Structure 1
Amino acid sequence: MKRTALVAAGLGVALALTACSNNNSDSSEAESSPTTSSMWTTPAAPSVDMSRFGSLPAIPTPTAPSVDCSYDTAGPAAKPVEPPNTSGVSDEGTVSVAFTTNEGPIGLTLNRAAAPCTVNSFVSLTEQGYFDDTPCHRLSAEPPLQILQCGDPSGTGTGGPGYAYANEYPTNLYSPTDPAAQQPLVYPRGTIAMANAGPNTNGSQFFLVYADSVLQPQYTVFGTISEEGLATIEKIAEAGDDGSMGANGGAPNTPVTIETASVG
């Protein structure tokens, strides 16, 4: 059975975002995930009144200068990579990451205070060349979900780094039984967040929000996109997607490759 990571939002039509493999494929974002999907709904109309939805909560101030992280084995990696360090992970300050793509530069600023274990993993993958020469395999170009998704070296939407880890901000601000954890909020333009296949199944796939989008607070937010990077993504989005995922978008009509990724 194919496992599917989901990015969806709002009120009306369930949207799925593939990010995990079937049992017979050679890569998986979430082999250890107890469920195969996590579904919610999105407004069907192309014009969405964002004022109907709340904002993400404030990022809490760290209570200690470092945390320990856990990265659990989750099937074969789509590209050879070592898991990141797990102890004494900083949760202070920011990290800059620069993508060069065939369509232009995309600069990122990663926020350790929001998601130290996510930033730790992302930096580790970047430094190991995991994102180099990899495609951005999915574009959703219609409200209320306007994102470019990347981070799967296989380009299939099923690949991961061979490990999985827990959700962080904003998910960790809610108890699992809190109804507010399932209420759509606005993920603002310029947000970087992780794709997943349900709680605590983060791997390497991430999405870049280039226009305000509506999502449940179940996707770890770990940084922001530069204005130059947003201009690159908006140019890609203008060409649209191939519709292969129906209401979820599809492959970008303009093929996008991350040629190099560097921490700097």
Structure 2
Amino acid sequence: MASSRDRQRKLARAKLDRQMARRAAVVKRRRQIRAGVGTALILVLVVAGSAWALGAFDREPTDDTASNEVCLWTPQNTEGNPNLKEVGEPATTGLPITGTRPMTLVTNQGAPINVELDLATAPCAAASIAHLASQSFYDNTKCHEITAEGAVRCGDPSGTGLGGPTYTFHSENVPTAPEASPQASPAPDEPPTYPKGTVAMISNPPGANGSQFLIFFKDFTTAEPAYPIIGRVTQGLDVVEKIGALPTVDNGSGEKVKPENDDVVVQSLTVGEPVLDPASPTDPTPTGTPSPAVSGTPEASPNAG
């Protein structure tokens, strides 16, 4: 009997030792898991802290300028056109491509004419005009033509229609042709191609834009749009209409487009700083008073309109 009891005690003791060993192993494994998780968490925090210190989580600023080239300025040969004026070329990078830019024309015909240049649809035209304005290119020049299409033509220091800077650039925002009615004319409810107050570039040949622009004083619709729209008049349209009502005489080419008695003189043209889209949270509050454009360094390049 004694030996049987001893055997049972030994078996029970062995079973208890096995249970205790299993429990100890479980506890040890839990400690190892916790230690591993803690180490991994510390490592993550160290890496994240290092990345933060190096600026990895810094938010990129809103990019409202083009770092890549968006505008190509094509030099023109001045030998065949003495009406071109050399004032350098605008920059090709870092140009504003969103929002608007205010332009102000002061003429001898009344109150200033305020224009809003569209940087999103015509960044190159806005960059060119701002550059030329910084060189006083437009100051004391004549608006030499009142077109039959209902626009005042300005921006040529020579007053011939052939003048401009020594570079040209491509057309950016030419309207699409209006849909034709069954009578092959624009549909009655079609909006005008160039609404009154539109500002557009004009060049000869088309697509070789330089400095000359049109300000429409009445709606104009055409089946073959050729003038790239660059902005609109925001104030002073009545002055443009007054100029458009001036009597005209033959300009020497058989067209009665030259103001007859009164020269229309642009005394100054200035371009203000870019203004972001009002929907942008970083949009600065516009002051309404355009500031003179930043002066550039004259270089060389050509254009005839």
TM-score, length-scaled by structure 1 = 0.65
TM-aligned CA distance change 1:163 to 1:244, over 3 Å: same
TM-aligned CA distance change 1:199 to 1:79, over 3 Å: closer
Report the alpha carbon displacement of residue 75 of structure 1 after superposing the two structures with TM: 2.6
Match of 1:83 among 68, 83, 89: 89
Match of 1:146 among 147, 150, 169: 150
Runs of 4+ in 1 over 6 A off after TM superposition: none
Q: How does 1:159-198 map to 2 (within 5 A)?
A: 159-170=163-174, 186-198=193-205
User: Structure 1, residues 40-82: CA drift from partner, whole Å, max 9, x if none?
Assistant: xxxxxxxxxxxxxxxxxxxxxxx98525210000133633311
Identity, % of aligned pairs? 33
User: Structure 1, residues 158-188: CA drift from partner, whole Å, max 9, x if none?
Assistant: 10101111110136x79xxxx99xx986210
SS of corresponding position for 1:251? strand
Report the alpha carbon displacement of residue 249 of structure 1 after superposing the two structures with TM: 3.8
Corresponding letter in the other structure for 2:263 = P
Corresponding letter in the other structure for 1:79 = K
Match of 1:231 among 220, 235, 238: 238
Report the alpha carbon displacement of residue 198 of structure 1 after superposing the two structures with TM: 3.3
Corresponding letter in the other structure for 1:89 = L
Partner of 1:6: none
Matched, 1:117 2:124: yes
TM-aligned CA distance change 1:246 to 1:155, over 3 Å: closer
Report the alpha carbon displacement of residue 243 of structure 1 after superposing the two structures with TM: 3.5
SS of corresponding position for 2:244? helix
Corresponding letter in the other structure for 2:143 = C
Contact 2:196 2:217 in 1 (8 A): yes
Contact 2:115 2:235 in 1 (8 A): no
Corresponding letter in the other structure for 2:124 = C
Contact 1:146 1:213 in 2 (8 A): yes
Contact 1:195 1:219 in 2 (8 A): yes
Match of 1:108 among 107, 115, 125: 115
Contact 1:65 1:90 in 2 (8 A): yes
SS of corresponding position for 2:85? coil
Partner of 1:219: 227
Corresponding letter in the other structure for 1:109 = E
Structure number with greater Rg is 2
TM-aligned CA distance change 1:80 to 1:192, over 3 Å: same
After superposition, the CA RMSD in angstroms is 2.7
Corresponding letter in the other structure for 1:134 = T
C-alpha separation in 2, matches of 1:247 and 1:192: 26
Corresponding letter in the other structure for 1:123 = A
